[in-house]
Amino acid sequence: MTAKTFDTIIIGAGQAGPPLAGRLTAAGMSVALIERKLVGGTCVNTGCMPTKAMVASAYAAHLARRAADYGVTLSGSVGVDYRAIKARKDKVSNDARGNLESWIAGMDHCTLYRGHARFVTANTVRVGDDLLTAEKIFLNTGGRASVPDLPGVNDISYLTNSSMMDLDVLPRHLVVVGGSYVSLEFAQMFRRFGSEVTVIEKSPRLIAREDEDVSAAILSILENEGITVHLGADEIRFAKQGNEIAVTFTAGKAPAVGSHVLLALGRTPNTDDLNLDKAGVEVDKRGFIVVDDQLRTSVPGIWAMGDCNGKGAFTHTSYNDYEIVAANLLDNDPRKVSDRIEAYALYTDPPLGRCGMTETAVRKSGRRALVGLRPMTRVGRAVEKGETQGFMKILVDADTKEILGCSVLGPGGDEAIHCVLDLMYAKAPVSTLARATHIHPNVSELLPTIAQELKPLA
């Protein structure tokens, strides 16, 4: 078989692959873009776009049930048509994927290959019957839901974040195993759709990477909506019980018996079936591809972007990986992963926006710090909207006045956080925030007030 030669090969059409293909082809290079399943990756097909469409439907149902709180009367009870919710979600996802496919199809010098890519050598890849070769290869293969080998897990039908997208019936009782970001979004949305929901988490608190006050607040929010949460659960096992599934945990506790079980226990990189050993590409003990600060792997001419490199597990970090690679290759701009400030959101309602260091991390660093807090009950816009759960917290270096981190749990928290994030990128002192005049009424208008009321972190 004669190999087809390209200037570059990109394996994976997630959030980094297609924009990189666009930049490379615009620079005159020929590109082979390889995708084994669906263009758009996790975000478009099973992650951000479809789930946030469902979160929007869940919010509408929740707000409708609260109509009387706003002086609005509805005739009859609020119902949910889950098939219509799924159809709306599917349209959002399908439209986005279709637009992306059209964009790729319109790129000059870009050939899209459908199939599973495997390395033959460090510069040669096989896709089905095609053998492709290039001097530069970029990996953007993403990740998938982890399925730990828990007792009985192979004896039941379980769901993951991906297979949840195919579900076309509303569960009577959804048992969610795992108490982190993905699991909590699904737990709340399905409770709002009308399912009974139980969350089982082995850690002593939810989303354990967050500060304890954040974890406690989110636990309260979920429990207030009727979600049952079991923390510190160990010895988790599964068994069929008639047409349902029993999840047992912690000796002495009654099992949770559900119609459906969602496993939300972390992510595994899609690197185990690429024949990386034939290319000599190094991976760590968890299977993530080892990269340097500019996303170069252990093999010259091979880069890794997105979830497969362990440098971030978000659409925005994957896209930023593309920007870093393109800047270094095409713009003579030495951008680095270490320039990135950690930032993300949890899309429960209210959402959590997070950037920089947590309070726990600041304490561990040993530096002197200042902290500012404001509950949403003291934020006019939150009171006006009738959404006063949560709080805002800013952490500042006491000596340099550098903003170290921020948490905004409350209405619009996923948007308001950028007020602080952008200042951190600008390396502006907290006085810049304190002197800013924000628009009233707004949640973010209280951020300058918090910056004026900092106290020593005890």
Active site (catalytic) residues: 440
Please report the DSSP string for 191-227 in residue order.
Answer: HHHT-EEEEE-SSSSSSTTS-HHHHHHHHHHHHHTT-
User: What's the one-letter identity of residue 180?
Assistant: S
Taking CA atoms, 445 is separated from 73, 217, 436, 450, in Å, by 32, 22, 9, 9
> Residue 68 and residue 63: Cα distance in Å, rounded?
10
Burial of 50 (0-12, 13-18, 19+ CB in 10 A): buried
Number of neighbours of residue 6 by Cβ within 10 angstroms: 23
Closest CA to 179 of 217, 206, 148: 206
Token pair in block for residue 444: 């973010």
Number of neighbours of residue 239 by Cβ within 10 angstroms: 14
Residue 264, CB-side half-sphere exposure with 13 Å CA sphere: 27
The answer to whether 413 and 389 have CB atoms below 8 angstroms apart is no
